[in-house]
Chain A
């Protein structure tokens, strides 16, 4: 029989937020990364779960590709990305299938049932937070589309009262068309839509500071008006963020992504977006 309760691994998690988009390559992982960093900067303890099984990018985004997942008596321990008790920041940990692959170039050619089983295992066996230090936010990064992974995560979270989903889009119509589908998916499975983030909205030329709309602009805002969903903000294209991701070194304190991000021009923009979500004051899952 199916138990009508949340998976055990989530018992010390206060808030769950999914990052969704119907379209690929709009920056779900990038927005997930930056949301996590912004929350950590505000002193929250954050966990990130990557359920993109065939293309996990988060281990690289956080610079922890070579790390391993360890097993404890309670279950799988996510990889710690940032944990500095001396700093006012919170801690950050990550779980991804990328850690379980032998070689980073290996492909994971899995049909649906196996992907479903893997996601179920992630939710069953991973230890997020402890009784003493609960996790404030669990961010779940998803692959594009509305298929096996999404159905599986919706089933697993059915009794877990997630806060809802942040929808990421790029401004062009080709992208918002797919995102509409994803919003319909959220309605069908009962995920609350927290808002829309328009990513890659404009590019500021480093030579002349002229802003060019490479992928046009305003598509996300228009979509949120049409569907009556809160618009969380525009994130411009910033090549320095990609550079930051590529040059970080998680073993050296000054070169950790969390420290590098302090200098990013995207930091205040993302902080504002994240504040909009946090200020919704959604009830904590823990009493």
Chain B
């Protein structure tokens, strides 16, 4: 039977549903070692439940997650503090570009639980995942490109997933623990929701032991977006994730009528390139706005197949090359140490 969030609830959510009341503000988390003992636990109606959940050892699921992830060579997070800058678009482009090499096995994982867009962009909407002995099988959009998203588990594409953080963590854990990507995966590209919250904390915690190659930061040129992106970079530094580089999306638009270029999102503070200089992170390139990118994404087609010669496609492929250089460089660096 195909797993579905209606028939099968993640185990963690059952656990948190045993709590009688909402967690207090500084709740150490019912799974943590401090559960029931922290300062915030005094007076919490759940204290007795949490403190009796002993013994607390390392998470028993971690070895399984580590084993799954050890079959993946490169793990890349696509991050941005801001929404709508093109994280999912870029994830899909990156996946198509990597999967263009037939010898490469690529996986794409969509951690945006409240607004999953990858299935549509990769043309896999309405599919469902299947369960086998080895775990959940991702949906294959090409022979060597698998995709996992919550949208495959929803009864109706329009249903809202109204989940608090704890429940989202449960699902992310299951994605990492139960999804069978095959014997070996060269690249796993993880698309994330905007912000710096539960999803980001969970995925970095769970993937930490096997190591994340790094994060690709996506931004648009205007200061309002850069403001949020700086926060995301701060988060990466706090969480100890290497930043592979930054790509500036939607920079400049060439009018198809008169070929005149205009800056729709004006880089009043110097845009992504200046930000990279200020913070000392690699700038991977900028991708111009092209209405055909949006159309390809809506249709779920590979932009490279349809418009291989467009300037945007060239720009994206340059960024992908620069990114692969960064990933392979960092791996060589590790070997040298």
- Chain A interfacial positions (CB closer than 8 Å to B): 22-26, 29, 54-55, 57, 60-61, 104-117, 143-148, 150-151, 170, 172-175, 177-178, 180-185, 188-189, 203, 205-208, 210, 212-216, 237, 239, 242-243, 245-247
Given contacts A22-B115, A181-B114, contact A54 B120 (CB under 8 A): no
**List of B residues within 8 angstroms of A216 by Cβ:** 291, 294-295, 298
**List of B residues within 8 angstroms of A24 by Cβ:** 82-85, 115, 193-194
Nearest CB of A to B312, in Å: 12
Across chains A and B, the number of contacting residue pairs, with CB separation under 8 Å, is 226
- Cβ 8 A contact of A145, one of B193, B257, B269, B297: B193
In this complex, how many residues of chain B approach chain A with their Cβ under 8 Å: the count is: 72
- Cβ 8 A contact of A207, one of B88, B165, B258: B258
Given contacts A57-B228, A109-B235, contact A243 B268 (CB under 8 A): yes
Nearest CB of A to B202, in Å: 9
- B135 interface hit (Cβ, 8 Å): no
- Cβ 8 A contact of B165, one of A23, A60, A112: A112
A177 touches B117 (CB 8 A): yes
Q: Which one of B20-28, B139-147, B207-215 is at the A interface?
A: B20-28
A246 touches B222 (CB 8 A): yes
Nearest CB of A to B290, in Å: 8
- B201 interface hit (Cβ, 8 Å): yes
Residue of B nearest to A154 (CB): B162
- Cβ 8 A contact of B231, one of A108, A116, A148, A207: A108
- Cβ 8 A contact of B224, one of A60, A203, A237: A60
Nearest CB of B to A108, in Å: 6
A208 touches B231 (CB 8 A): no
Interface flags for B166-201 (1: CB within 8 Å of A; 0: not) read 101000000000000000000000000111111011
**List of B residues within 8 angstroms of A107 by Cβ:** 81, 196, 231-232, 234-235, 238
9 nearest CB pairs, A to B: A24-B83, A25-B84, A112-B165, A207-B260, A145-B114, A117-B25, A208-B258, A54-B195, A210-B257
B264 touches A174 (CB 8 A): no
**List of B residues within 8 angstroms of A183 by Cβ:** 158
Nearest CB of A to B256, in Å: 6
Given contacts A57-B228, A109-B197, contact A184 B266 (CB under 8 A): no
**List of A residues within 8 angstroms of B117 by Cβ:** 23, 174, 177-178
